[in-house]
Amino acid sequence: MATHTQDILQAWYPHRDSHQWVLGTVVGTIGSSYRKAGALLLINDMAQLFGLISGGCLEADLMRRSKRVMTTGGAELVSYDSRDEDDVAFQLGLGCGGKIDILLQPVTAENHYLQLVQVYQSLIAHQPIVYCSPMTPAMPNEDGHQIGLVASTLTQLPFAIELGNKAKSVTYCDQHWLCRWIRPRPHLAVFGGGLDAQPLVAMAANLGWEVSVVDPRPSYGRSVDFPTASRLLNSSAAGLEQQPWLESVDAVVIMNHHIDLDVEAIQLWHNKPLSYWAVLGPEHRKQRLFDTAGIQPQQCRQPLAGPAGLSLGGELPEGVALSILAECHAALHGASAQSISGILNDTARIAP
């Protein structure tokens, strides 16, 4: 299941006028919840659901409520409180132990599709966008239709606000809005189409990422070996300088297992803005690559991760791929990559 906002809108956009649609937005949470404020899903009149707001506990009930929204044409605020034994969330077995508020809105041409077309177009252009949702059902515009607010930059918003990675409640014109950045799917470029690249590409695609695989060797990077790749290029890094898709790359993994090809990749990417880039092999090999490329590490815009990945203890290609993608995922989201429970920080812990 693809649950990234870009995938949800991609499923909706071609059929936006051929079906009735309802947008579900998490507008508030108290305590523990599976998804946080700002999470979206779309439901249509064919009982198809795109996205995820809970672990599957609430979606069936939301689908039932969405039918009423389609019928009445009015928005509805739904609350689920798993702390209350009389609440439907408790009866459904929602185990998070918190409260979640979800706004259900009809998505129609009359209400300008809640500005979701602009969001979708921005994401497919690999541009982040600010999206603001009403937090209550009674927020129509002058035509009597509910709307959303969008802006490609913060300066285009009708109010000044600093947004981080989390959604934020904003009051504007005596109305409450939930505002957040919606970012495109991460784009990972993998340089090297060998056997060990296959699980890495498959895992990244399963995360919903766009993945490009580059390898000039005829027996590498074949479509039969990388069926989930978004892009396969039979080229060296040196031949890609003018490719427009390079501008959308967020992360790079260099795994050609070939000195000259790895050097070309380092020369291509060392001065480009990346959230993460990594190379396979030990520290001394990374230094050899820099020396051969004629580049000093301090000349790079982003430190090169090498050896690549987190220390997860894996040795097989699948474990190495998980290690690299875990480090990459943390870098893309500005996370610490630490154990959430702290169990791995317990030095007295005895391994089985």
The CATH number covering residue 251 comes to 3.40.50.720
Is 265 contained in some domain?
Answer: yes
- Does the pLDDT at position 345 exceed 80? no
> Which pLDDT does position 168 carry in this prediction?
85
> Which pLDDT does position 89 carry in this prediction?
47
Residue ranges of the alpha helices (H) in the chain?
5-12, 59-72, 88-91, 116-124, 197-206, 259-269, 283-293, 317-332
Do 124 and 50 belong together in one domain?
yes
Question: What is the pLDDT averaged over residues 208-235?
Answer: 95
Question: What is the pLDDT averaged over residues 324-349?
Answer: 85
> Which pLDDT does position 96 carry in this prediction?
59
- Does the pLDDT at position 173 exceed 50? yes
Percent of the chain at pLDDT above 90?
Answer: 61
- Does the pLDDT at position 204 exceed 80? yes
- Does the pLDDT at position 160 exceed 50? no
Q: What residues make up the domain containing 35?
A: 5-182
- Specify the number of domains making up the chain: 2
- Does the pLDDT at position 114 exceed 60? yes
Do 24 and 159 belong together in one domain?
yes
- Does the pLDDT at position 193 exceed 90? yes
Measured CA to CA in angstroms, residue 317 lies from 47, 147, 286, 314, 322 at distances of 40, 48, 20, 8, 9
- Does the pLDDT at position 80 exceed 90? no
The two structure tokens encoding residue 164: 């981080």
- Does the pLDDT at position 68 exceed 90? yes
- Does the pLDDT at position 208 exceed 60? yes
Question: What is the pLDDT averaged over residues 313-333?
Answer: 95
> Which pLDDT does position 38 carry in this prediction?
87
Question: What is the pLDDT averaged over residues 76-103?
Answer: 69
Report the range of poorest mean pLDDT among 28-32, 81-85, 297-301.
81-85
Do 26 and 112 belong together in one domain?
yes
Do 21 and 149 belong together in one domain?
yes
Measured CA to CA in angstroms, residue 248 lies from 102, 203, 275 at distances of 33, 20, 11
- Does the pLDDT at position 34 exceed 90? no
Do 145 and 167 belong together in one domain?
yes
> Which pLDDT does position 137 carry in this prediction?
81
Do 173 and 83 belong together in one domain?
yes
Do 144 and 14 belong together in one domain?
yes
> Which pLDDT does position 133 carry in this prediction?
85
- Does the pLDDT at position 1 exceed 60? no
Is 337 contained in some domain?
Answer: no
Spatial distance between the Cα atoms of 60 and 54, rounded to a whole number of angstroms: 10
Spatial distance between the Cα atoms of 333 and 326, rounded to a whole number of angstroms: 11
- Does the pLDDT at position 167 exceed 80? yes
Do 137 and 197 belong together in one domain?
no
Question: Cβ neighbours of residue 151 under 8 Å, at least 6 residues apart?
Answer: 129, 130, 157
Percent of the chain at pLDDT above 70?
Answer: 85
pTM attached to this predicted model = 0.84
> Which pLDDT does position 348 carry in this prediction?
46
More confident residue, 258 or 314: 258
- Does the pLDDT at position 209 exceed 80? yes
Are the C-beta atoms of residues 122 and 152 closer than 8 Å to each other?
yes
